[in-house]
């Protein structure tokens, strides 16, 4: 019985801690992947350019901008406000994607 209680307490503690995650958006063949990407407030997103061509990850609302990423460059941004973030590549404006930031897990 005591062991069960300890186990249940640990489960609750684990579920209650909102550990920030780091997710990756791969830029490959002139596409952002995955999109849409759903994350939580406090999570980080690392953009990785796998193309032999420079790209940017730039929010339409200017809330983030990777600037130019050359081949194999990475850039990380922490999302601190919930919302739907539409972004694109300034060098290839037809490259568009979405990150949805949900409120933090309680
Ligand atoms: Cu591009």
CA–centroid distance, 40 to ligand 1, in Å, is 26
pLDDT digits 0-9 by tens, 20-71: 999 999 999 999 999 999 999 999 999 999 999 999 999 999 999 999 999 9
What is the value of pTM for the model shown?
0.82
Per-residue pLDDT at 6 exceeds 90: no
CA–centroid distance, 75 to ligand 1, in Å, is 14
CA–centroid distance, 94 to ligand 1, in Å, is 8
What is the Rg, in whole angstroms, of the alpha carbon atoms belonging to the chain?
18
CA–centroid distance, 21 to ligand 1, in Å, is 26
Bond preceding residue 70 cis, omega within 30 of 0: no
DSSP state of 34: S
């Amino acid at each position: 019985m005591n062991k069960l209680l300890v186990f249940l307490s640990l489960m609750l503690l684990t579920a209650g801690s909102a550990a920030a995650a780091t997710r990756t958006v791969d830029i490959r063949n002139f596409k952002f992947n995955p999109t849409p990407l759903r994350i939580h407030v406090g999570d980080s997103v690392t953009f990785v350019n796998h193309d032999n061509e420079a790209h940017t990850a730039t929010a339409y609302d200017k809330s983030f901008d990777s600037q130019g990423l050359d081949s194999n460059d990475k850039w990380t941004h922490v999302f601190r406000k919930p919302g739907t973030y539409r972004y694109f590549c300034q060098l290839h404006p037809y490259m568009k994607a979405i990150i949805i930031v949900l409120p933090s897990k309680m």
